[in-house]
Amino acid sequence: MHFQIQVPNAHPAGILEVFSPYDGKQVGSVETVDAAGVEQALQNMTTVFSDRQSWLPAHERIAILERTARLMQERAEQLIALAIAEGGKPYQDTKIELMRAIAGIQNCIDCIRTEHGSEIPMQLNLASMNRLAFTHREPIGPVVAVSAFNHPLNLIVHQVGPAIASGCPVIIKPARETPLSAFALVGIIHEAGLPKAWCQPVVTEDTAVAEQLVTDKRVAFFSFIGSAKVGWMLRSKLAPGTRCVLEHGGAAPVIVAEDANLDNILPLLAKGGFYHAGQVCVSVQRVYGHRSIVQAVAERLASLAENMTVGDPSSDKTDVGPMIRHREVDRIETWVNEALQEKATLMAGGKRLSNALYQPTVLLNPSEHSKVSRQEIFGPVICVYDYDQIDDAINRANSLPYAFQAAVATQNIDTALYAYKHLAASAVMINDHTAFRVDWMPFAGLRESGYGKGGIPYTYRDMQIEKMAVFHSPAI
């Protein structure tokens, strides 16, 4: 499938071919833009936003989003197949992702219908007498969004949907590994009635051109999902006044107390750790099990890992698909081998199955200095560690420069509340895995894991300003 450039008045600079991470076959291509194309895209959205008479009223935005959701539902299998082909997430998980994306569009509609300004109290002192004040929400301005590969449908909805809902024109730059889903989705949005200049997908020729796009002074809001190294670098170069939100990765910790219901929690932890081959920013990575149960935790996680089907992501029987790039399999193999040399115990997995596939792996008590303990694995590896006192587990969980979502498994309310209070995280799941998310909840990385707050309603608000009017009249 080939997608043409969707930037009005721009010319393509080249072709980006897209390949399946599973078998290496070409699955499509998109036309790219150079510096001139980026400039044209910025001019397009600046022009439409500068003309306030051309702003899309709320009822039109609602109608466009409603038609978008209908078209996505009608073309569900096509979108699922495209996302699997380029991203490698197994069929069942990609189907769920698409359903989430459609629900996300509906969530954007709900934001338009329910979010509102407020009255500011006046006449509280002599200075404020004879005055009436209220606020109204209006779009912040042109948005540039840079997305990641691991949820090629839902992440685009999280960035483009709130922009459309809030009334902001948006340029979306998908990951180079997975641009096809973004172009298909934006094509649906255009078909639903949104003028092209209000939503332009672009794939740039190189990083310098991408940086030109992000740091332009005409950009009012920057949304980034990707690596911390790139995100923090781009934030440091934003033009004065550009607001931003950054979503990076983590090394999510789980504390399993001695009274935890292992029958309930361990299948959840296995799913949270091996979902999309661990390529999720809040994947279960570090599991701290009380010494009295840690062997059982490791053995049962290993059994769950060994019973997972690894292979073709287009099959509805597959649990774990490929890594996005072959070099990521090389990296995971190196990290696991290093951990084993540093005295970790291999409970399950530990081997590559192909250039694209790596076994779901469980390690017991890797060294605290091993890469698998200190860095984000972003692969199908769960590390299990023993602890004696919960404060020790919490201190070790908090010891890394990342803080995103964490979890605790216990039947004791006091233990749950203690862990909730002391874990360094923006969210703590009780008796659930760290990768739990619904798209209307806040989603925020702390420390090196991010900046600002995600979640559709929160992004919608970030992409607007609350503008105040103050009436002064003796009649008030």
Q: Using an 8 Å Cβ cutoff, are 283 and 150 in contact?
A: no
262 exposure class (CB count in 10 Å sphere: 0-12, 13-18, 19+): middle
368 is annotated as an active-site residue: no
List Cβ neighbours of 362 (8 Å cut-off, separation of 6 or more): 298, 301, 302, 305, 346, 347, 348, 349, 381, 382, 383, 384
Integer Cα distance of 66 and 81 in angstroms: 23
What's the rounded Cα separation, in Å, for the pair 444 and 335?
27
Q: What angle do CA 172, 196, 64 make, to 5 degrees?
A: 90
Token pair listed for 93: 């998980």
Token pair in block for residue 244? 């931003």
Strand intervals (E) in 20-175: 26-32, 119-120, 131-139, 143-146, 170-173
CB 385 within 8 A of CB 289: yes
Rounded to 5°, the CA angle 179-185-191 comes to 135
Q: Largest alpha-carbon pair distance within the chain?
A: 81
Q: Which of 108, 199, 244, 281 is catalytic?
A: 281
Q: SS3 string of 414-452?
A: HHHHHHHHHCCCCEEEECCCCCCCCCCCCECCEECCEEC
Give Cα separations from 154 to 111, 171, 223 (angstroms): 17, 16, 14
CA distance 319 to 154: 19
- Number of other CB atoms surrounding residue 271 within 10 Å: 17
| SS3 assignment, position 148 | coil
CA distances from 360 to 43, 337, 346, 433 (A): 47, 14, 11, 17
State in Å, rounded, how far the first CA of the chain is from the last one: 63
Cβ-in-10-Å burial (0-12, 13-18, 19+) of 106 comes to middle
User: Do 473 and 130 touch, CB atoms closer than 8 A?
Assistant: yes
Total count of residues recorded for the chain: 476
Q: How far apart are CA 329 and CA 183, in angstroms?
A: 28
Q: Which of 97, 177, 247, 448 is catalytic?
A: 247
Q: Is 247 a catalytic residue?
A: yes
Residues with active-site annotation: 247, 281
